[in-house]
C-alpha cells in the first residue's frame, strides 16, 4: 500500500522532469544560447540606457584609447566609445537579421507549400528555380544582389533574405509533401475545404516546428552574412554603428596593435550568432524532437 | 564512367542556363541602376542616359538578355571600368592566386578535420570530443574577416612569426619561375627554396583563416558519420578477426565514413569562394577575391556579375567532381 502510494506520488515528478521544455531549461548549453540572445536583445532595445556615450559623437582628444575605466572597450580613431557603438550595433544587426529571415520565410514558405501541395509542373518549375538559386555560393549571391541594388541597409536585408529563400522553400516543400497525404488533410478536403484553407489551417501549423527552428538558427547566420556585407562596404554605411562596418574601420589599426576596435564588434557577432544557434538547437528538442541532433 | 561524366556535364547545361538567367535578373531587374552607379549619384540625367544607351539598357529586356548571352558565349565577361581591362583577362591574371589559397585551405581542412573527427568519434564523450564540438560550433559562428584580423594581430603584430599580410611573397624575394602560377608549387618544382619559404609563410595565415569554418563543419560531420560506422557489424567482424584497432578504424571505418564529409567539403567549396573575397581583402592577396572587393568599392558591376556566374559554374563542377570521387572510394556506388 505504502509502495503504491509512493509510486503514485513519484509519477508527476518524473513527468514534469521529462517535459521537453523542462529538459531544455535544464540544458546549460541551451540556457547559454538563451542568455546570449536575451543580452543582445536587451542591448538593442535599451541601448540609450546601457551605452554610456553617444555612439556617433566624435571626440578627437580621446582617439585610440585602450580599454580602461572610462571606456570599457576603448575608443576608435575618431574617439568614439567602442562599447557604446557595440551596444548600438545590436539595434542594427538584430533587426536586419529579423527582416532578412522574414523575407526568406515569407517568400520561401509559400513557394514550398505551393510546390509541395500542387506537385506536377508547378512543383517542377518552383523547385528547379530554387535549385538554381542554390547553385550560387550564398555570400557571392548576396554580394551580387547588394551590389546591384547599391550599398545600404535595405540592400543588405534584401540580399540576405533572398539568399535564404531556397532553404525555406525546400524545407516547406518536404513538409507539405509528407503532410498532404495524411488523413486529417484528406478529411478536410473531403469536407470541401478550399486548397488555400487546407494549406493555411492544416499543413502550415503542422509544418511550423522545423521552420521555426530553422528561422532561429537562420537569424544567427543572417547576422553573420549581413556583417560580412557591411565589412565589404555593401551593407550599412558609416558612421552608423554596425558591427561588420566597425571591424572594417578598425582593420587598418590592427597592425599597429590597436586590437580593441576589431575584437569587441567581432565578439558581438560571434556571440549573437552562437546564441541564436544554441537556442535554435534547444528549440528543436522541444518543437521537433525527431530531428534532434542528440 | 566516361559516359556518366558526359551525361552529367550535359545535365548541368539547363542548370547553368538558369544561373545565367538569374545573374541577368540580379543585374537588370532588381531595383538599382548600373548606369547611376557608373555615373555616380551626382551625375545629371543626361550623363546617366548616355551611359544607359552605351550599355544597351535603353533596349527591351529580351534584347538586352540576348546580347548578354551572345557576349557570354563568346567568352566576353564585359569590361572592368576600374582597371581598364576586360574582366576575362583580369580574372586570368588573378585566378592562380585564388586557386592556390582555396586549395591550401581545403588541404588544411582535410588534414585537420578527418583525423580530429575520427579521433573524437573513437573517444566519444572524452574531453577531446567535447572540445572538438565546442570548436566546431564556435568555428562556424566566427566571422571570417574578424578571425583573419585577429590572426594578423597575434602572429604578425604581437609575435612577429608571420610576414606582413601583404600579398603572396615578400617584396624582397623574386617570385618563382612561372609554371602553374601557384607560387608554392612552382617554387618546389623549380627548387627555389627562398621563394618556397616566403610563399609558404605568406600562404599559411590566409589559408588557415579561410579553412576554419570548413574545418569546423567537416570535423563535426566526420565525427557523426564515424560514430555511425563504428556501430556497424562489419567493424565488429574486423575486430573479431584480430585486426589491430588502428587498422580497424582507419582502413575499415574511415573508407566507409568519409563520404558524407567529402560531400560537405564539396558544398563548402562555394563557401570558400565567398570567403576568399573577404580573406584576400584582409591579407591583400592579389586574387579574384580582392579584385571583387575593389570592384565593389568602385561600383564596377561587370566583374561582380562575372564572378557570381563563374562561382556558380565552378560550384556545379566541383559537386560533379565529388560524385566521381565517391565512386572511386566506395565501389558500391555505381555511376549510371
Closest Cβ–Cβ partner in B157, B270, B296 for A232:
B296
What is the chain B residue with the closest CA to A147?
B296
Phi then psi for A71, rounded to 5 degrees?
A: -125, 100
What is the chain A residue with the closest CA to B34?
A148
Contacts of B62 (CB under 8 A, 6+ apart): none
**Banded pLDDT at B335 (limits 50, 70, 90):** low
CB–CB contact B150 A266 (8 Å): yes
pLDDT digits 0-9 by tens, A17-49: 667 677 777 778 889 999 999 999 999 999 999
CB–CB contact B165 A233 (8 Å): no
CB–CB contact A266 B293 (8 Å): no
Task: With beta carbons less than 8 A apart as the criterion, state whether A82 and A76 touch.
Answer: yes
CB–CB contact B15 A247 (8 Å): no
pLDDT at B248: 85
Task: With beta carbons less than 8 A apart as the criterion, state whether A43 and A243 touch.
Answer: no
Helix (H, G, I), strand (E, B) or coil at A75: strand
Residues of chain B contacting A140 with CB distance shorter than 8 Å? 270, 273-274, 277, 307-308, 311-312
What is the chain B residue with the closest CA to A254?
B153
Can you list the domains of chain B with their CATH numbers? Answer: 18-76 (no CATH), 92-329 (1.10.3720.10)
**Banded pLDDT at B261 (limits 50, 70, 90):** confident
Rounded Cα gap, residues A171 and A203, in angstroms: 13
pLDDT at A161: 96
> Which of B263, B279, B276, B268 has the alpha carbon at shortest distance from B315?
B268
- Could you tell me what percent of chain B has a pLDDT over 90? 35
**Banded pLDDT at A144 (limits 50, 70, 90):** confident
Q: Whole-number mean pLDDT of chain A?
A: 87
Give B12 to chain A, closest Cα distance, Å: 10
What does R_g of chain A's alpha carbons equal in angstroms? 24
Mean predicted confidence (pLDDT) in A56-67: 90
Helix (H, G, I), strand (E, B) or coil at A211: helix
- A227–chain B Cβ distance below 8 A for any pair: yes
pLDDT digits 0-9 by tens, B107-118: 999 999 999 999
pLDDT at A68: 92
CB–CB contact B26 A263 (8 Å): no
What is the chain B residue with the closest CA to A220?
B141
Task: With beta carbons less than 8 A apart as the criterion, state whether B224 and B218 touch.
Answer: no
Judged against a pLDDT cut of 70, whether residue A15 lies above it is answered with no
Phi then psi for A192, rounded to 5 degrees?
A: 90, 15
pLDDT at B207: 96
Q: Domains of chain A: which residue ranges?
A: 24-293
Whether the ω angle into residue A239 lies within 30 degrees of 0, i.e. cis, is yes
What is the chain A residue with the closest CA to B21?
A132
Closest Cβ–Cβ partner in B145, B292, B312 for A135:
B312
pLDDT at B30: 66
Residues of chain B contacting A249 with CB distance shorter than 8 Å? none
Residues of chain B contacting A244 with CB distance shorter than 8 Å? 143, 145
- Write down the number of H helices and E strands in chain A: 13, 0
Q: What is the pTM of this model?
A: 0.86
Judged against a pLDDT cut of 80, whether residue A214 lies above it is answered with yes
Judged against a pLDDT cut of 60, whether residue B292 lies above it is answered with yes
pLDDT digits 0-9 by tens, B136-159: 888 889 999 999 999 999 999 999
- A28–chain B Cβ distance below 8 A for any pair: no
Give A84 to chain B, closest Cα distance, Å: 19
pLDDT at B301: 78
Task: With beta carbons less than 8 A apart as the criterion, state whether B218 and B268 touch.
Answer: yes
CB–CB contact A136 B311 (8 Å): yes
pLDDT digits 0-9 by tens, B151-209: 999 999 999 999 988 899 998 999 999 899 999 999 999 999 999 999 999 999 999 99
Question: In terms of pLDDT, which residue wins out, B300 or B108?
Answer: B108
Residues of chain A contacting B316 with CB distance shorter than 8 Å? 135
pLDDT at A292: 53
- A159–chain B Cβ distance below 8 A for any pair: no
pLDDT at A1: 45
- A32–chain B Cβ distance below 8 A for any pair: no
pLDDT at B266: 80
pLDDT at B328: 75
What is the chain A residue with the closest CA to B268?
A137
**Banded pLDDT at A12 (limits 50, 70, 90):** low
**pLDDT-wise least confident of A79-83, B101-105, B269-273, B279-283:** B269-273
Which neighbouring-strand residues pair with B85? Answer: B80
pLDDT at B32: 65
Rounded Cα gap, residues A142 and A104, in angstroms: 13
Q: H/E/C letters for each residue in chain B?
A: CHHHHHHHHHHHHHHHHHHHHHHHHHHHCCCCCHHHHHHCCCCCHHHHHHHHHHCCCCCCHHHHHHHHHHHHHCCCCCEECCCCEEHHHHHHHHHHHHHHHHHHHHHHHHHHHHHHHHHHHHCCCCHHHHHHHHHHHHHHHCCHHHHHHHHHHHHHHHCCCCCCCCCCCCCCCCCCCCCCCCHHHHHHHHCCHHHHHHHHHHHHHHHHHHHHHHHHHHHHHHHHHHHHHHCCHHHHHHHHCCCCHHHHHHHHHHHHHHHHHHHHHHHHHHHHHHHHHHHHHHCCCCCHHHHHHHHHHCCCHHHHHHHHHHHHHHHHHHHHHHHHHHHHHCCCCCCC
Question: In terms of pLDDT, which residue wins out, B44 or A81?
Answer: A81
Contacts of A166 (CB under 8 A, 6+ apart): A108, A130, A131, A133, A134
pLDDT at A294: 43
Contacts of B22 (CB under 8 A, 6+ apart): A132, A133, A136
pLDDT digits 0-9 by tens, A158-180: 999 999 999 999 999 998 988 88
Question: What H or E segment, with its residue span, contains residue A235?
Answer: none
CB–CB contact B274 A138 (8 Å): yes
The most confident of the ranges A94-98, A204-208, B268-272, B325-329 is A94-98
Helix (H, G, I), strand (E, B) or coil at A179: helix
Judged against a pLDDT cut of 90, whether residue B285 lies above it is answered with yes
pLDDT digits 0-9 by tens, B5-59: 787 778 778 878 888 888 888 777 666 677 777 777 778 888 888 888 887 888 8
pLDDT digits 0-9 by tens, B211-259: 998 999 899 889 988 988 888 888 888 888 888 888 888 888 888 888 8
Classify domain A24-293 by CATH architecture. Answer: Orthogonal Bundle (1.10)
Amino acid at each position: 500500500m505504502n509502495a503504491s502510494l509512493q509510486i503514485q506520488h513519484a509519477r508527476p515528478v518524473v513527468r514534469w522532469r521529462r517535459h521537453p521544455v523542462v529538459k531544455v531549461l535544464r540544458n546549460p548549453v541551451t540556457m547559454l544560447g538563451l542568455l546570449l540572445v536575451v543580452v543582445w536583445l536587451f542591448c538593442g532595445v535599451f541601448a540609450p540606457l546601457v551605452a554610456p556615450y553617444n555612439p556617433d559623437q566624435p571626440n578627437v582628444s580621446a582617439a585610440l584609447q585602450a580599454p580602461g575605466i572610462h571606456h570599457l572597450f576603448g575608443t576608435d580613431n575618431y574617439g568614439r566609445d567602442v562599447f557604446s557603438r557595440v551596444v548600438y550595433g545590436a539595434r542594427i544587426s538584430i533587426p536586419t537579421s529579423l527582416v532578412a529571415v522574414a523575407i526568406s520565410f515569407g517568400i520561401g514558405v509559400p513557394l514550398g507549400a505551393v510546390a509541395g501541395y500542387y506537385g506536377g509542373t508547378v512543383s517542377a518549375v518552383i523547385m528547379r528555380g530554387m535549385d538554381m538559386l542554390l547553385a550560387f555560393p550564398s555570400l557571392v549571391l548576396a554580394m551580387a544582389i547588394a551590389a546591384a541594388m547599391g550599398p545600404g541597409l535595405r540592400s543588405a536585408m534584401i540580399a540576405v533574405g533572398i539568399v535564404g529563400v531556397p532553404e525555406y522553400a525546400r524545407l516547406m516543400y518536404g513538409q507539405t509533401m509528407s503532410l498532404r497525404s495524411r488523413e486529417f488533410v484528406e478529411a478536410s478536403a473531403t469536407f470541401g475545404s478550399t486548397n488555400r484553407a487546407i494549406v493555411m489551417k492544416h499543413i502550415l501549423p503542422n509544418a511550423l516546428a522545423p521552420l521555426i527552428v530553422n528561422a532561429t538558427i537562420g537569424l544567427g547566420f543572417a547576422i553573420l552574412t549581413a556583417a560580412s556585407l557591411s565589412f565589404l562596404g555593401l551593407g550599412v554605411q558609416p558612421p552608423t554603428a554596425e558591427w561588420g562596418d566597425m571591424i572594417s574601420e578598425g582593420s587598418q589599426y590592427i597592425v599597429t596593435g590597436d586590437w580593441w576596435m576589431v575584437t569587441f564588434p567581432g565578439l558581438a557577432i560571434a556571440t549573437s550568432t552562437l546564441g541564436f544557434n544554441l537556442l535554435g538547437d534547444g528549440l528543436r528538442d522541444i518543437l521537433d524532437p525527431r530531428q534532434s541532433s542528440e | 564512367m566516361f559516359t556518366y561524366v558526359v551525361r552529367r556535364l550535359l545535365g548541368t547545361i539547363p542548370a547553368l542556363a538558369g544561373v545565367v538567367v538569374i545573374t541577368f535578373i540580379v543585374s537588370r531587374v532588381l531595383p538599382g541602376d548600373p548606369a547611376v552607379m557608373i555615373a555616380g549619384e551626382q551625375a545629371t540625367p543626361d550623363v546617366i542616359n548616355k551611359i544607359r544607351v552605351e550599355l544597351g539598357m535603353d533596349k527591351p529586356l529580351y534584347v538586352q538578355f540576348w546580347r548578354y548571352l551572345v557576349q557570354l558565349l563568346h567568352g566576353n565577361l564585359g569590361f572592368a571600368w576600374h582597371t581598364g581591362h576586360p574582366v576575362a583577362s583580369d580574372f586570368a591574371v588573378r585566378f592562380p592566386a585564388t586557386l592556390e589559397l582555396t586549395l591550401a585551405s581545403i588541404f588544411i581542412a582535410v588534414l585537420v578535420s578527418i583525423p580530429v573527427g575520427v579521433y573524437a568519434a573513437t573517444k566519444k564523450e572524452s574531453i577531446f570530443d567535447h572540445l572538438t564540438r565546442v570548436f566546431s560550433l564556435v568555428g562556424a559562428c566566427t566571422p571570417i574577416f574578424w578571425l583573419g584580423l585577429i590572426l594578423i594581430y597575434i602572429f604578425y603584430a604581437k609575435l612577429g612569426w608571420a610576414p606582413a599580410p601583404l600579398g603572396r611573397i615578400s617584396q624582397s624575394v623574386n617570385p618563382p619561375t612561372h609554371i602553374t602560377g601557384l607560387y608554392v608549387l612552382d617554387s618546389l618544382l623549380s627548387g627555389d627554396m627562398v621563394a618556397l619559404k616566403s610563399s609558404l609563410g605568406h600562404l599559411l595565415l590566409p589559408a588557415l583563416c579561410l579553412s576554419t569554418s570548413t574545418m569546423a563543419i567537416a570535423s563535426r560531420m566526420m565525427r557523426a558519420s564515424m560514430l555511425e560506422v563504428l556501430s556497424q557489424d562489419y567493424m565488429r567482424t574486423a575486430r573479431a578477426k584480430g585486426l589491430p584497432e588502428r587498422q580497424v578504424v582507419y582502413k575499415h571505418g574511415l573508407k566507409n565514413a568519409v563520404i558524407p564529409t567529402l560531400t560537405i567539403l564539396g558544398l563548402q567549396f562555394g563557401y570558400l569562394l565567398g570567403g576568399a573575397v573577404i580573406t584576400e581583402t584582409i591579407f591583400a592577396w592579389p586574387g579574384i577575391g580582392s579584385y571583387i572587393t575593389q570592384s565593389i568599392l568602385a561600383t564596377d558591376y561587370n566583374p561582380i556579375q562575372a564572378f557570381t556566374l563563374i562561382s556558380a559554374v565552378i560550384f556545379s563542377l566541383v559537386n560533379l567532381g565529388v560524385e566521381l570521387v565517391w565512386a572511386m572510394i566506395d565501389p558500391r556506388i555505381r555511376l549510371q
